[in-house]
Amino acid sequence: MLAVAIKKGSREKTLDFQEMGTVRCDGCGEEFFIGHNPQSADRRVAERQAKWLEKVLAEEHERDRKHCDRIELPD
């Protein structure tokens, strides 16, 4: 399954994805929408990915890294 997190307001294309939810970074407030391929969209997977993404965003702040506009999500 192809799943990505795309920073809201970025120039990344979202047309090919079904929006599955939004994650807000606790450190800076940037928001990312979780997008799935419409043929394989799965709410339970999206919930796991949201938890994973929250951890990744927090780790990036700990390492003084900026968030990418697009982050590939695990299945």
What is the domain extent for residue 36? Answer: 3-72
Check: pTM over 0.85? Answer yes or no.
Answer: yes
67: amino acid identity, one letter: H
Residue 57: Cβ within 10 Å count: 21
Q: Which amino acid is at 55?
A: K
Instruction: Give dist(CA 49, CA 35) in Å, integer.
Output: 10
Q: What is the pLDDT along the chain (75 residues), one digit of tens a residue?
A: 689 999 999 988 878 899 999 999 999 999 999 999 999 999 999 999 999 999 999 999 999 999 999 999 998
Half-sphere exposure of residue 57, counting CA atoms within 13 Å on the CB side? Answer: 23
Give the model's pLDDT for residue 48.
Answer: 98
Domain count, the chain: 1
| pLDDT for position 1 | 64
